């Protein structure tokens, strides 16, 4: 019998309701020892109103609602009891202490979800999705996480593993009975048939890998840096994108000395906009520090918004800044479109060859919506949103998919080149095991610890 665990499952701090969760064989017994009126039978899945009392003094801790749920129809597939009290830090703390006094042990981070996995209620990909649901910052991130929690990724992984299992089974048969292959040199030989199966599996894996970058941006956010020489309208653009006054705007060049970072929701994508110091020859040590930070920010950016002053013309500073941004995904923005324009878009196109050029006004808002749409399209490859497309959002999943893809392609290539079947079998098994790590069917205790240590206590 495993130990009965308990933890506070509500968010820390004050709130309307606090929750203490108990899971394990002694959950009902412990609840019965603390709940008043004593002797409540705790019919399954029925809420009971009463109080929780100190086990040593019988002093009332708080008024509560309590519910008991019997295994296996619970989150952990164990007996579970939950106590709902007022959301006071002291109430939930003292109730948890009383539960522990009665024999429960403190739950480790993520231990409830870990037990759900170990007891077969969810697989490891779904367990990963639990923390993604909790941490989702936009509707798209939440939708992607809920889809994975419901098993969409797991279904795809199991289907691909099934193909690899069939390929492995045929490989083993022909290794054990090589004479059964009627014509090893024909297009219908065992090697060719298995290679075709592997190529189909590789294409399925590749499709998932190709969604990983968009999935990362949807969940972790997009790092968009606003860069340019001083006084071209970078801070005004930040304020326009945020729909609030966040950065100081001044006609004095060099007003922004430090990085200013703020998040905004752009078509469902969490975007971190970074306003940076104007890049020029610094006029002092402090300004130079700000310029160095600006250059560091552009190196880490997913997208750079490169501003030039449409009312002032292109000069050598613009060209120097543009030269430093080569190789990055950038959008050249001709700012101050509400004023008389000296720059035409054709001139601006030459600054960063291949990058799109757009005209914007932070004063009138012209071009801002089009810019936001373009940022979203860069994430989704021309689509404004992923729709119902499955996105791989977890770095662990991506790394394992990349590994499985490499092994599958290598095995197929070996078979196509006439290598013996037993050579390819090693890669096939490695690919099969890598996919199994995603859903937890081939996983070590060390990997499990790394997955669940990201969770909060109580989940």
The overall average pLDDT reported for the chain is 85
235: pLDDT strictly greater than 80: yes
Q: What is the mean pLDDT of residues 372-395?
A: 78
Where, residue-wise, is CATH 3.40.50.300 in the chain?
217-379
Q: What is the mean pLDDT of residues 149-167?
A: 94
Least confident of 73-82, 127-136, 282-291, 399-408: 282-291
How confident is the model at residue 442, as a pLDDT? 84
Architecture of the domain whose range is 5-107: 2-Layer Sandwich (3.30)
pLDDT digits (tens, 9 = 90+) for 88-125: 999 999 999 999 999 999 999 999 999 999 999 999 99
Least confident of 16-25, 31-40, 310-319: 310-319
How confident is the model at residue 248, as a pLDDT? 46
Q: What is the mean pLDDT of residues 254-283?
A: 72
How confident is the model at residue 251, as a pLDDT? 47
How confident is the model at residue 246, as a pLDDT? 60
Q: In the chain, what is the straight-line distance between the N-terminal and C-terminal CA atoms, in Å? A: 21
Least confident of 159-168, 283-292, 324-333, 363-372: 283-292
How confident is the model at residue 290, as a pLDDT? 61
Where, residue-wise, is CATH 3.30.1360.120 in the chain?
5-107
Q: What is the mean pLDDT of residues 414-421?
A: 86
183: tokens are: 């014509």
Q: Which band of pLDDT confidence, cut at 50, 70 and 90, is reported for residue 317? A: confident
- Percentage of the chain surpassing pLDDT 70? 87
Residue 5's Cα: distance from chain center in Å? 28
How confident is the model at residue 401, as a pLDDT? 97
Q: Which band of pLDDT confidence, cut at 50, 70 and 90, is reported for residue 256? A: very low
What is the dotted CATH code of the domain comprising 217-379?
Answer: 3.40.50.300
Residues 33-58 as b/e (b if ≥16 CB within 10 A, e otherwise) read bbbeeeebebeeeeebebbbbeeeee
Q: What is the mean pLDDT of residues 265-292?
A: 69
Q: What is the mean pLDDT of residues 411-439?
A: 91
CA distance 345 to 352: 12
Strands of 260-266's sheet, edge to edge? Answer: 260-266, 269-275, 222-227, 303-309, 330-335, 357-359
How confident is the model at residue 386, as a pLDDT? 63
How confident is the model at residue 384, as a pLDDT? 55
Whole-model pTM: value is 0.80
Q: Which band of pLDDT confidence, cut at 50, 70 and 90, is reported for residue 243? A: confident
CA distance 444 to 424: 25
Least confident of 259-268, 280-289, 328-337: 280-289
Q: Which band of pLDDT confidence, cut at 50, 70 and 90, is reported for residue 306? A: confident
Where, residue-wise, is CATH 1.20.120.430 in the chain?
139-211+392-452
For residue 39, the number of C-alpha atoms closer than 13 Å in the C-beta half-sphere is: 0
Indicate the burial class of 28 (C-beta count within 10 angstroms; 0-12, 13-18, 19 or more). buried
Residues 3-23 as b/e (b if ≥16 CB within 10 A, e otherwise) read ebbbbbbbeeeeeeebbbbbb
Q: What is the mean pLDDT of residues 261-266?
A: 85
Least confident of 148-162, 246-260, 309-323: 246-260
278: pLDDT strictly greater than 70: no
The closest alpha carbon to 232, from 321, 324, 168, belongs to 321
How confident is the model at residue 153, as a pLDDT? 94
pLDDT digits (tens, 9 = 90+) for 172-213: 888 766 655 555 555 667 888 899 999 999 999 999 999 998
**Residue 270 β-bridge partners:** 265
- The answer to whether the CB of 7 falls within 8 A of the CB of 457 is yes
How confident is the model at residue 38, as a pLDDT? 83
CA distance 24 to 76: 9
How confident is the model at residue 35, as a pLDDT? 95
Q: Which fold has domain 139-211+392-452?
A: 1.20.120
CA distance 440 to 118: 9
346: pLDDT strictly greater than 90: no
How confident is the model at residue 320, as a pLDDT? 79
Indicate the burial class of 246 (C-beta count within 10 angstroms; 0-12, 13-18, 19 or more). middle
CA distance 162 to 123: 16
């Amino acid at each position: 019998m495993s130990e009965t665990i308990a933890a506070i499952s509500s968010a820390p701090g004050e709130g309307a309701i606090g929750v203490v969760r108990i899971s394990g064989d002694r959950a009902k017994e412990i609840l019965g020892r603390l709940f008043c009126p004593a002797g409540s039978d705790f019919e399954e899945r029925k809420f009971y109103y009463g109080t929780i009392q100190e086990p040593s003094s019988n002093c009332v801790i708080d008024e509560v609602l309590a519910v008991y749920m019997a295994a296996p129809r619970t989150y952990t597939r164990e007996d579970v009891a939950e106590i709902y009290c007022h959301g006071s830090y002291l109430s939930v703390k003292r109730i948890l202490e009383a539960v522990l006094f009665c024999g429960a042990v403190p739950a480790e981070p993520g231990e409830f979800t870990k037990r759900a996995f170990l007891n077969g209620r969810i697989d490891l990909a779904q367990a990963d999705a639990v923390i993604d649901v909790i941490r989702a910052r936009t509707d798209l991130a939440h939708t992607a996480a809920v889809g994975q929690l419901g098993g969409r990724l797991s279904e795809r992984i199991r289907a691909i593993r099934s193909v690899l299992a069939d390929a492995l089974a045929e490989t083993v048969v022909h290794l054990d009975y090589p004479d059964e292959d009627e014509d090893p040199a024909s297009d219908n030989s065992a090697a060719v048939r298995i290679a075709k199966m592997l190529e189909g599996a590789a294409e399925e894996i590749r499709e998932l890998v190709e969604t990983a970058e968009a999935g990362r941006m949807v969940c972790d956010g997009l790092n968009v840096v606003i860069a340019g020489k001083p006084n071209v309208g970078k801070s005004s653009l930040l304020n326009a994108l945020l729909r609030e006054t966040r950065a100081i705007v001044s006609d004095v060049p060099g007003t922004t000395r430090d990085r200013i970072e703020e998040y905004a929701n752009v078509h469902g994508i969490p975007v971190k906009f970074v306003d940076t110091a104007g890049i020029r020859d610094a006029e002092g040590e402090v300004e130079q520090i700000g310029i160095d930070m600006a250059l560091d920010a552009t190196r880490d950016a997913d997208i750079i918004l490169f501003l030039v002053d449409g009312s002032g013309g292109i000069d050598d500073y613009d060209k120097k800044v543009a030269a430093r941004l080569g190789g990055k995904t950038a959008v050249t923005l001709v700012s101050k479109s509400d004023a008389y324009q000296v720059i035409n878009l054709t001139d601006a196109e030459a600054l960063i060859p291949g990058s799109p050029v757009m005209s914007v006004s932070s004063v009138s808002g012209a071009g801002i919506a089009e810019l936001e749409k373009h940022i979203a399209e860069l994430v989704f490859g021309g689509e404004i949103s992923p729709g119902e497309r499955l996105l791989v959002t977890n770095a662990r999943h991506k790394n394992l998919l990349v590994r499985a893809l490499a092994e599958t392609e290598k095995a197929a290539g070996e078979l196509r080149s006439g290598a013996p079947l037993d050579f390819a079998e090693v890669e096939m098994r490695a690919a099969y095991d890598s996919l199994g790590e995603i859903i937890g069917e081939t996983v070590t205790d060390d990997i499990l610890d790394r997955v669940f240590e990201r969770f909060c206590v109580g989940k």
